[in-house]
Chains A and B, each alone.
Chain A
Amino acid sequence: MSAQYVPVLLTFAFAATMAGAIVGLSALLGRGKLAHRRKLEPYESGMLLIDASRKRVSVKFFVVAMVFIVFDVEVAFLYPWAVSVKTLLAEGNKLVLWDGLIFLLLVTIGYVYLWREGAFDWAKRGGEQ
């Protein structure tokens, strides 16, 4: 049963080696001279730096993240259902399809609610913030 994961482990080892090699080689081969202070400043299209980057982030990003978590978990619930529906139907279990569709209906109610609350509107019409 666990033998099926041997290729996965092998691939992880390979991918990790490649990733380490690329970052390591770049540090090794691309070692430069001591750089000037200006060179190590944040990139600002060649201008003097205006404004810091570590500031508060718009709350809209957090809303997207929360809505995503809710729906992603619900979709993840549907995966085991989707895989087993066909065999269960073949065994004459007609109810299983309705189970999933009722669950989907509940998800859709939440979806419609969020739509009407404006959770999916990034900006008002016309692109203004």
Chain B
Amino acid sequence: MWAEVGVTAFKLAVIAGVLLTVVPVMTWVERRGAAFIQDRLGPNRVGPWGLLQPVADAVKLLFKEDVTPAHVSKGLYFLAPAIAVFVALSTFIVIPFAKAEGITLFGVPLKGLIVAPDLNIGVLYLLALSSISVYGIVLAGWASNNKYSLLGGLRSSAQLISYELAMTLAVLGVLLANGDLRLTTIVEHQGKLWNAVPQFLGFLVFLVAAFAETNRLPFDLAEAENELVAGYHVEFSSMKFAAFMMSEYINMTTVSALATTLYLGGWNLPGVSLPSGWLGLLLSFAIFFAKVGFLLWLFVWVRWTLPRFRFDQLMRLGWKGLIPLALLNLLWVSLGLTQGWW
């Protein structure tokens, strides 16, 4: 019993460590990537190629004055960033980051680099918890008692729930073809063919919805700098502000990892059979993370390429564009089921 809890805690520490390392690296990639795309230098003074810039930023944010404006709703104002961080740090536990065949730690089989390998509600847990993150944003917008914040929070809540529908419908296609909510079996199921190929429509819908769910451009109506200054977190300073940024980057990583497991075959590469044991764990983790890294770069790439949607366009795309496509994908998967294609 205690050995199992210990192993779980160990896996949690490793994976959370990886995610929390991705955050500063991604802020660096984002700023340097933006500079690269816009043909300028970007941060290059702190450390080689500006690599230590995130460290400087973190220290600065930690010691910045934490202003609590007089007009805010105190309780909710402190609760909102906490919710954002809580959700970001608890959704990833059902994603298998690597496979672990024949590895035992203190007599406990590892069952892959995944915190909760036996949780039979799998992806449902992730979808359910990630919808709580709406509260973080809408409460931040409301509690700030500021026009910009309120508008950002309201828009964002409408956007998040609209695209959540498209996302859950797209995921339904994968579940239909796979017949299990556990993500490990979904990855094993894609040994021959990645889900992105037969369910290309579903993958497309999922990817677009993922951009909207993480509030990233072209769907960052929640913070739209040019009109709402910073949207829902304009009244937050110091680490409370950093909490929102951190949760945004962790959510990006989680959703990239989810897209990789659901559609891009997890650690499977066509024509490659991985060895078992520790070498297999390292190799599968490397493959998995390469795919996640590509998707993360895609987030940055799209951000500096596409302009922002107008709000009515955003709602039209969500309700009239993505949902019919997701339903079409569902019909296609059902057809395949009757023919025994997957």
Interface residues of A in 54-91 (CB under 8 A from B): 54, 57, 60-61, 64-65, 67-68, 71-72, 75-76, 78-79, 82-87, 89
Roughly how many angstroms separate A122 CA and B316 CA in the complex, as a whole number? Answer: 7
- Once A4-B119, A11-B115 are accepted as A-B contacts, the answer to whether A43 and B66 lie under 8 Å apart by CB is no
* B64 contact from A30, A39, A65, A108, Cβ within 8 A: A30
Q: Does B169 contact A (CB under 8 A)?
A: yes
Sample 22 A-B pairs with CB under 8 A, ordered by A number: A4-B119, A7-B115, A10-B12, A18-B86, A22-B81, A22-B246, A23-B82, A26-B239, A30-B64, A30-B237, A30-B238, A41-B70, A42-B69, A42-B71, A42-B235, A44-B147, A45-B229, A53-B147, A61-B154, A75-B168, A111-B323, A122-B316
Is A15 a contact of B90 with CB atoms below 8 Å? Answer: yes
Roughly how many angstroms separate A77 CA and B64 CA in the complex, as a whole number? Answer: 48
Q: Does A117 contact B (CB under 8 A)?
A: no
A5 proximity list for chain B (CB < 8 A): 119
Minimum Cβ distance to chain A for residue B28 (Å) = 20
Q: Does A106 contact B (CB under 8 A)?
A: no
Hey, what's the 0/1 contact readout for B129-169 against A, CB within 8 Å counting as 1?
A: 00000000000000011111110001001100110110011
Minimum Cβ distance to chain B for residue A89 (Å) = 6
The segment out of B284-292, B293-301, B307-315 that lies at the interface is B307-315
Is B327 a contact of A8 with CB atoms below 8 Å? Answer: no
A43 proximity list for chain B (CB < 8 A): 69, 146, 148, 229, 234-235
Minimum Cβ distance to chain A for residue B223 (Å) = 14
B242 proximity list for chain A (CB < 8 A): 22, 26
* B239 contact from A30, A57, A111, Cβ within 8 A: A30
- Once A43-B229, A53-B145 are accepted as A-B contacts, the answer to whether A82 and B172 lie under 8 Å apart by CB is yes
The closest CB in chain A to the CB of B11 belongs to: A7
Is B176 a contact of A40 with CB atoms below 8 Å? Answer: no
A30 proximity list for chain B (CB < 8 A): 62-66, 237-239
Q: Does A123 contact B (CB under 8 A)?
A: yes
The segment out of B2-10, B97-105, B210-218, B262-270 that lies at the interface is B2-10
A78 proximity list for chain B (CB < 8 A): 172
B273 proximity list for chain A (CB < 8 A): none
Residues of B within 8 A of A (CB): 4-5, 8-9, 12, 16, 62-71, 78, 81-83, 85-90, 93, 115-116, 118-120, 124-125, 144-150, 154, 157-158, 161-162, 164-165, 168-169, 172, 175-181, 229, 234-235, 237-240, 242-243, 246, 310-313, 315-316, 319-320, 323, 327, 330-331, 334, 337-338
Minimum Cβ distance to chain A for residue B194 (Å) = 18
A27 proximity list for chain B (CB < 8 A): 66, 78
Minimum Cβ distance to chain A for residue B84 (Å) = 8
A122 proximity list for chain B (CB < 8 A): 311-312, 315-316
Roughly how many angstroms separate A26 CA and B237 CA in the complex, as a whole number? Answer: 9
- Once A22-B82, A61-B154 are accepted as A-B contacts, the answer to whether A11 and B12 lie under 8 Å apart by CB is yes
Minimum Cβ distance to chain B for residue A60 (Å) = 8
Is B176 a contact of A101 with CB atoms below 8 Å? Answer: no
* B8 contact from A7, A22, A101, Cβ within 8 A: A7
Hey, what's the 0/1 contact readout for A37-52 against B, CB within 8 Å counting as 1?
A: 1011111110000010
Is B89 a contact of A15 with CB atoms below 8 Å? Answer: yes
Add 19 more A-B contacts to A27-B78, A76-B168 (CB < 8 A): A6-B8, A11-B115, A16-B86, A19-B81, A22-B243, A23-B81, A30-B64, A30-B237, A40-B68, A41-B71, A45-B229, A53-B146, A61-B154, A68-B165, A79-B175, A82-B172, A82-B175, A83-B180, A127-B313
